[in-house]
A and B are shown apart, each in its own frame.
Chain A
Amino acid sequence: MTAKHTPAVKEPLVHLSKRSSIHPLHAWAIRLIAVVLGLAVCGLVAFLLIEKIQEKPEKIWDFYNAFIKGSFSTPRKIWKFLKSLSILLGIALALTPAFRMRFWNIGAEGQTLMGVLGAIAVDFYLGGKMPEWLLLILMLLAALFCGALWAVIPALFKAKWNTNETLFTLMMNYIATFLVAFFLEVWVTNGSGALPKMKTGKLPVVGGNDYLLIILVVLFLAIALFIYLNYTKHGYEISVVGESERTARYVGISVRKVIIRTMILSGLLCGLTGYLIGAGLDQSITTNSVGGQGFTAIMVSWLAKFNPLMMIFTAALIQMLSQGAAQISQDLNVSGALPSVITGIILFFIIGCEFFINYELHFRGHGQRGKAEKEGVK
């Protein structure tokens, strides 16, 4: 009866509202569903792209198996997995303080590359002319300085003139790349453009494994950053600036100072990761030394909701996906670009599922029932 008297306003089929909170288990269930759906779509895409699976559909199980096989089948692969994970995690950690204050630093690629460049430049000019320990320290200082320099330039302009930091840091990546290309031309005189691996400036091997030191350093970094961001005054100031610059100003936080200080920290950590790449792994440099991980790290940090400890898991997930996909292209003899396709698809699903964590959907039918119940109470 009441329906007759209400004016004919059509209620939309779906109505959205922001969730005030969600049970963590519920949220992780949603994310898990997203990953499973993503993997299903990947299987479909693999079927379309890989002839060997079209011929023998049962090979699709090899496809899923490869995700495990790619990272965990031999001890060597596990170490390699942990090493790549650490480098990716290191860059993601470096980005996090900036992201927490909503400073969209997408220049980690360049900042890390500058770190590598700083370390390798010192190694190139001073290697062999001084004791190894002193060389390693100088390399570290140079890497930290270069990383911080590349981060603080956009920060200064952001703080003073509100220059768009996303576009600025993006450009700085390319300037860094060509700077490395320039130095390679200067250093390598035979025209090949490839710098041979240097004999000096290598981090000591700890515990019998080449990668253990790097893994430990990054793990320590994750814990330290977690404490810095959550339990110190600096960390609190970063969060306040991120939430609302006006509030920060009102309570007497110098926004400029926080922006510059935090970006220096961000750049220092990028520089440190660059040092780990340069002194810990490569002892050489190419324009591709960071290999796009500066961009992947943005997703790692974002997926973990800017929580340093959670990033260990998100970095592991992304690394597992790309190593697994690389295994697939090797096993099934397809283009080496397949990992990016698979990573991309799964990222779409993870990115999309955040919506269902942040928002609640109300369908038309359910809303009506709720209203009727309320009226019944009256």
Chain B
Amino acid sequence: MNIWLNFLIDSLAFGATFIYGSTGEILTEKAGHLNLGIPGIMCMGGAGGCLMLNLIGKSGLPPVLIVVLGILSALVFSMLMGLIYSFLTVTLRANQNVTGLALTTFGVGLMKVIMSKLTATVYLVGPKQYYRWPFAGRQDSLQCLGVLFFLAIIIAIAAGWVLFRTKVGLHLRAVGENPATADAVGINVNRYKYLATCVGSGIAGLGGFYYIIDYMASQEAYLSLEAFGWLSIALVIFALWRPPVTIIGSTVFGFLFSCSSFITIIPGVTVTMAMKPVLKMLPYVVTVLVLIISSIRNKRENQPPSSLGLSYFREDR
């Protein structure tokens, strides 16, 4: 395959991790909650999926069932994490930054403990072929475009449609912009906050699962997952809080992140070792620039939700 096309597809496949992570985070942020627990949630999603595969990987169940059960388990684990976060921040009105950071500490740690107990020959070697359908077994980067990749694209587009084209989405955005007004109109603020956070966490968790089982498909993949959770939070800014834009944004991020390893095999290009960190820094620099430019232009539809990070207590004035 053409080297450039191969690189492009690899960026796209890598990006699916971020599509999940940032779509999940967008839903949560639209409800007014800055969830810094996303890295931990993605890790737990990955651990949950792999834990299930470790049980059924060699059981001889039909591949479709194995794929579905793995995804369900990843969803359950990450949504439980979302439930912890929303119980603390919505019901108990705890500080969101602190809760999110604690959740990340907890999630990353627990994932490492769980993953160190699993056997890669069971959860990875067999099932990864099922998840990589329909391109399993190919040698180029097309092999990573599996079931979960296409699910990511569908979820991102669907989330965009729900947020900006349906009544539920309108209510959700109202809750994130001004919960007191939403409450006065009769929207159940807490229910929306819980729903958005838990569904968002579930989506983010799939990203972690995809990264371990499909894109990397290696035993050590889980050790590098946390960094991509943080990158997903960055991508939310880059995408200006629009889920479908994350598809483009995450491909760009994937491109920037993996170009440091790809660039060396392009004929005629020489890169010193010192340039690699600089290339890896680019996604973050670009994110900062997007953040600055969008705040200078100050267009209303490109801003963070206005009550982002604040707890809502009805009797506050």
Contact = CB atoms under 8 A, between A and B. Distances in A.
Interface in A1-51: 16-18, 49
A191 B287 contact: no
A352 B92 contact: yes
B222 to A, nearest CB: 10
A355 B276 CA distance: 46
A286 to B, nearest CB: 13
Given A168-B291, A172-B288, A298 B110 contact: no
A351 B278 contact: no
Given A168-B291, A191-B273, A348-B106, A178 B278 contact: yes
A49 B272 CA distance: 45
Given A166-B34, A178-B277, A351-B95, A161 B105 contact: no
Instruction: Using C-beta atoms within 8 Å of the partner chain, give the interface range for chain B.
Output: 35 or more
A288 interface: no
A172 B234 CA distance: 11
Contact of B102 (A161, A351, A354): A351
Interface string B89-110: 0011111011101111111111
A166 to B, nearest CB: 6
Contacts of B95: 302, 351, 354
Contacts of A335: 112-113, 116-117
A351 B87 CA distance: 11
Contact of A339 (B109, B277, B280): B109
Interface stretch (A122-130, A179-187, A257-265): A179-187
Contacts of B117: 335
A359 B314 CA distance: 13
B237 interface: yes
Contact of A157 (B99, B292, B309, B313): B292
B101 to A, nearest CB: 5
A198 to B, nearest CB: 20
Interface residues of A, number: 50
B309 A104 contact: yes
A344 B103 contact: yes
Contacts, number: 157
Contacts of A172: 288
Nearest to B283: A174
A161 B292 CA distance: 8
A340 interface: yes
Binding site secondary structure of chain B: helix
Given A185-B276, A348-B84, A299 B102 contact: yes
A205 interface: no
Given A182-B274, A185-B273, A351-B94, A344 B106 contact: yes
B315 interface: yes
Binding site secondary structure of chain A: helix
A162 interface: yes
Interface in B110-154: 110-113, 116-117
A168 B98 contact: no
B64 interface: no
A337 B112 contact: yes
A125 to B, nearest CB: 16
A347 B94 CA distance: 11
Given A164-B291, A167-B237, A191-B273, A178 B284 contact: yes
B281 interface: yes
Contacts of A338: 109, 113
B97 A166 contact: yes
Contacts of A168: 288, 291-292
A358 B93 CA distance: 10
15 contacts: A106-B36, A168-B292, A170-B233, A171-B284, A178-B281, A178-B284, A185-B273, A295-B101, A295-B105, A298-B101, A335-B116, A336-B112, A345-B106, A347-B105, A348-B88
Interface of B: 34, 36, 84, 87-88, 91-95, 97-99, 101-113, 116-117, 230, 233-234, 237, 272-274, 276-278, 280-281, 284-285, 287-288, 291-292, 295-296, 298, 304, 308-309, 313, 315-316
Interface of A: 16-18, 49, 104, 106, 157, 161-164, 166-168, 170-172, 174-175, 178-179, 181-182, 185-186, 191, 295-296, 298-299, 302, 334-341, 343-345, 347-348, 351-352, 354-355, 358-359
Given A295-B101, A344-B103, 4 more contacts: A104-B97, A341-B106, A348-B88, A354-B95
